[in-house]
Structure 1
Amino acid sequence: MTKRLENRLALVTGASRGIGYALARAFAREGAHVVALARTVGGLEELDDEIQAMGGSATLVPVDLKDVEALDRLGGQIHERWGKLDIFAANAGVLGRLTPLGHLKAKEWDEVMAVNVTANWRLVRSLDPLLRASDAGRAIFLSSGAAHKCKAYWGAYSVSKAALEALARTYAAEVATTPVRVSIVNPGATRTAMRARAMPGEDPETLPTPADVADTLVALAEPGLGVNGGLYDFADGRLTIRSA
């Protein structure tokens, strides 16, 4: 039986834990070769062990998303080895400190923007020719409800996710006449380490797991996806499109 992502090449950022880890596993389970990016080598090695155990394959890329030169080189390296990229899952992100805007230090603001926005712009710039070289390039950006709620003390994170959505929607418009399709996903409250830091009094057992979210995102990576620029919310175990 043919797997849903048979012979596809998928790059996942933030793949050493949380949704990125689960997404890399889900892609591999469905037949994709996964290029897994993260800072944490131990988490990447654990991921590789799990992928190999299920009969899949992965290439591990330990990298800090603030290493702009490494991100700029990445496209060329993928081109030399594979000549294309079928799936780009922009998952990695940082929360930053929850505090009034006026209390944020400049370096704290800059780090959130560097990881959540600038790194993704650099990756789009680096990977765009490879996605266009695919017969069905797919770019999936993990956002947050914070981009629209704009709650007090969440300033840096909210602004960064709003900017990420603007970046993704702009990219969707630019590839509209190509086989590339862009999706934006708000995974909602999920049982991750970032969520635990943001909501320390919350019972994690009441939340969906990263695997619950990741399993639904496989549909956005499939060659048959028709929607471009769709904004999706994950809730009650399924994806609901909010706008397209």
Structure 2
Amino acid sequence: MDLSSVFSLDGKVALITGASKGIGYGIAEIFAAAGAKVVISSRKQDALDEKANQLKNQGYEACGIACNVSHPEELSLLVKKTVEKYGTIDILVNNAGVSPVFGPVHETSLEAFDKIMAVNVKAPFELCRLCFPHLRKSSAASVINISSIGGISPETGLGIYSVSKAALISLTKVFAKEWGEAKIRVNAICPGLIETKFSEPLWSNEKIMTKVLQQLAIKRTGTSTEIGLMALYLASSASSYTTGSVFMADGGFSI
């Protein structure tokens, strides 16, 4: 058996949100290295151009398309531009997420609640719907939703963020069950503490890190590359009989 072909994404088109840095860019880099044509998206075009050029300089096929995922009309345009550029969409990674508040859940404003839900739940739902006509034409369609360990067990100070990530897990299972007949697989990854700018308030806080490390079987933070490699498994034919599953990548935090 040629295992290199099992994990190959050669010729596939992957659309990844929240991909100008952190986990999203880590996934994009792994997918590109596996042969995929990668569309990275985030809010700022200049940041995307810089990252797309980094991928191109490594010999990969990539482009950046700006999109604020909380604006449905921009999601529609993102899908349209992706298809215009590469002709189809085989892989969708819903990675964009926000966590604008930290503290007791009862202190979360309705404005913050709506923002979290719009980006973390509503946007993945709408992007899945928009991509469906293209995914169903693919010979190996895969949707990967980036949830969080907070979606399994609420994280202290991140109450509504945790609620949104739990909803994303449920959304993953709903789409997986309904889209099975269309041969579209839908899975979720729940990262733990990954060392990115998004999570910097946590891993840069010595008091928080001391407490977190006590709960980890693997005594360190994770990397974006490690999440990217798990995503590669879910995007490739290696996981061809896997759908509706939730994968923990948390260093043993949830054991």
Structure 1 length normalisation: TM-score? 0.89
Deviation at 1:77, TM superposition (A): 3.7
Structure 1 residue ranges without an equivalent (≥5): none
Residues 66 and 115 in structure 1, CA contact (< 8 A), matched pair in contact too = yes
Alpha-carbon distance in structure 2 between the residues aligned to 1:41 and 1:78: 15
Does structure 1 retain, via aligned residues, the 8 Å contact 2:66–2:78?
no
CA RMSD of aligned residues (A): 2.3
Which residue identity does 2:247 align to in structure 1? Answer: Y
- Given that residues 19 and 42 in structure 2 are in contact (C-alpha distance below 8 angstroms), is that contact kept between their aligned partners in structure 1? yes
**Alignment match of 2:176 (pick from 172, 193, 196):** 172
Give the Å deviation of 1:236: 5.0
Q: CA deviation at 1:154?
A: 1.7
User: Equivalent residue for 1:208?
Assistant: 222
Alpha-carbon distance in 2 for matches of 1:132, 1:118: 21
Amino acid at match of 2:105: L
When normalised by structure 2's length, the TM-score is: 0.86
1:159 Cα offset (Å): 0.8
- Are 2:69 and 1:62 aligned? no
**Amino acid corresponding to residue 234 of structure 2 in structure 1:** L
For residue 154 of structure 1, the aligned residue among 144, 152, 158 is 158
| Partner in structure 2 of residue 163 of structure 1 | 167
Paired residue for 1:230? 245
Count of aligned positions:
238
- Deviation per residue, 1:21-53 (Å, 9 max, x gap): 111111111111111110133431232122112
Give deviations 1:60-106, integer Å, cap 9, x for gaps.
11111112111123334444444421110111111221122221121
Greater RCO (CA < 8 Å, at least 6 residues apart): 2
The structural deviation recorded for 1:110 is 1.0
Q: Does 1:37 align with 2:20?
A: no
The equivalent position to 2:117 in structure 1, one of 83, 97, 113, is: 113
Gaps of 5+ in 2: 214-218
* Whole-Å separation in 2 of the counterparts to 1:160 and 1:208: 22
For the 8 Å contact 2:65–2:78, the answer to whether it is kept is no
- Residue 7 (1) aligns with residue 11 (2): yes
SS in 1 for 2:199: helix
Moved more, 68-77 or 119-128: 68-77
Counterpart residue number, 1:218: 232
Distance 1:74 1:151, change over 3 A: closer
Q: Which runs of structure 2 are paired with 1:116-131 in the superposition (5 Å)?
A: 116-131=120-135
Q: Which moved more, 1:12-21 or 1:38-47?
A: 38-47
Give the Cα separation in 1 of the matches to 2:80 and 2:15.
14
